[in-house]
Structure 1
Amino acid sequence: MNDGEETTAQAEPAPASGPARDARGHFITTIDHDQRAAAAARLRADNPKMTYQQIADAVGYSNKGDAWRAVQKCREAVIKSAGAELVAAEAQQLDDLFVSALEVLERDHVVVSHGKVMLGDDGQPLIDDGPKLAAIREMRQIRESYRKLYGLDQPTQVSVSGAVRYEVVGVDPEDLT
């Protein structure tokens, strides 16, 4: 009977020309799929009046929906890539600011009053901690910017519990019934 053969045919992996799937049957993207999606996106970009069915026919998709999904996939990849580049550029600027603040922190600063270096009882210049403290504050703010940039801060959750009790003053409860 054919029933046994059909069961074995379903257990075999998909042929090489079919869509690639993992052990759970989920679609796996391959370089071929990505190249076809890129070709579909290029066609759409170069020929905006071209329909998705025409793109599907030109690239080899079975229907216009597959062509549309391929173009959307490419759009999302471009946006994601641009977003990653922006985050990297912002992170580099924060790195530069952090290094500058660290240089200020590592230097010794002397107290200057009315254009003159103030000396202690021992004749040595007095050390001014103000610039170091300002550098520490700036470094803390830069670290906060890092956390925001990478989304490390979790939103604050507020838990409200309890009950509300209403009391009417000046009214006899017996009159209410």
Structure 2
Amino acid sequence: MTDTTPGREQARDAQHRFTRTPESIARDAEALRLRSRGQTLQAISDLLQYGSAGNVSRAIKRATQDVIAEDADEYRRQQLLRIAMLRREAIAVLERDHVVVSHGRVIRVGPMPEEGQPDTRKPLLDDGPKLAAIATLRQLDEREAKLLGLDAAVKVDATVHQVDPQDLELMQLISEQKAKNAAEREQIEGGS
């Protein structure tokens, strides 16, 4: 996927592979703009000196991928801002005390005051809103991790070893000897 225009200097990376420069990215974007306005691949090639219609086609594909990546980055940024706002709200709920209300009245803890005395009992606290805020924060963290790619698949290297009956016998003997050694050690330490 490189520009193969004859005589055009191309940038290379440390492994000598062709790499895109700001100029080539801008040129690819211009090819995409011209194509979206109805220009033929050959006309774009002639105008922007791509060397062939095939090179223009590849340039348009690269530019399209750049546009998609930019849109995805903007979407990701908007979602992260929204998550930050929701996180602030959930933390505010978590930090507040909530009281239990039943039939329009605050439920209080302790003995009832005598008639005519003010009710100085403490209100019964409701943990439900705090637990819901914690669950919401967890969901927000999971969503943020997905957006940032923190939960990428983990590559597992699993090696399978075949175990035959003799190996099992040996493992059993080792296990029994370890148990015997531990019992003897306990007996020695207990007798000192």
Query: TM-score normalized by structure 2?
Result: 0.65
CA positional deviation for 1:58: 1.2
158 and 140 in structure 1: CA distance in 2 versus 1, 3 angstrom threshold? farther
Where does residue 16 of structure 2 map in the other structure? 25
CA positional deviation for 1:161: 6.2
* Structure 1: distance between partners of 2:18 and 2:152: 33
1:127 to 120, 125, 128: 125
CA positional deviation for 1:95: 1.9
CA positional deviation for 1:78: 0.3
Q: What are the superposed Cα offsets for residues 91-127 of structure 1, whole Å, 9 maximum, x if unpaired?
A: 2222222111111101111121211112222622222
Q: What are the superposed Cα offsets for residues 123-154 of structure 1, whole Å, 9 maximum, x if unpaired?
A: 22222222111111111122122222333224
CA positional deviation for 1:21: 2.6
Letter in 2 for 1:73: R
* Structure 1: distance between partners of 2:85 and 2:129: 18
70 and 138 in structure 1: CA distance in 2 versus 1, 3 angstrom threshold? same
2:108 is paired with a residue of what secondary structure?
coil
Where does residue 69 of structure 1 map in the other structure? 58
2:91 is paired with a residue of what secondary structure?
helix
2:9 is paired with a residue of what secondary structure?
coil
Moved more, 116-125 or 75-84: 116-125
Matched length: 148
Query: TM-score normalized by structure 1?
Result: 0.70
Letter in 1 for 2:35: R
Q: Percent identity?
A: 38
158 and 32 in structure 1: CA distance in 2 versus 1, 3 angstrom threshold? closer
Give 5+ residue unaligned stretches, structure 1: 1-15, 164-177
CA RMSD of aligned residues (A): 2.8
* Structure 2: distance between partners of 1:23 and 1:140: 42
* Structure 1: distance between partners of 2:11 and 2:130: 59
CA positional deviation for 1:160: 10
1:85 is paired with a residue of what secondary structure?
helix
* Structure 2: distance between partners of 1:29 and 1:68: 16
Q: What are the superposed Cα offsets for residues 57-95 of structure 1, whole Å, 9 maximum, x if unpaired?
A: 111111222211111111000011111111222222222
5 Å-filtered alignment, 1:127-146, equals 127-146=125-144
Where does residue 35 of structure 2 map in the other structure? 44
2:96 to 101, 107, 111: 107
Give 5+ residue unaligned stretches, structure 2: 1-6, 111-119, 163-192
1:128 is paired with a residue of what secondary structure?
coil
Where does residue 88 of structure 1 map in the other structure? 77
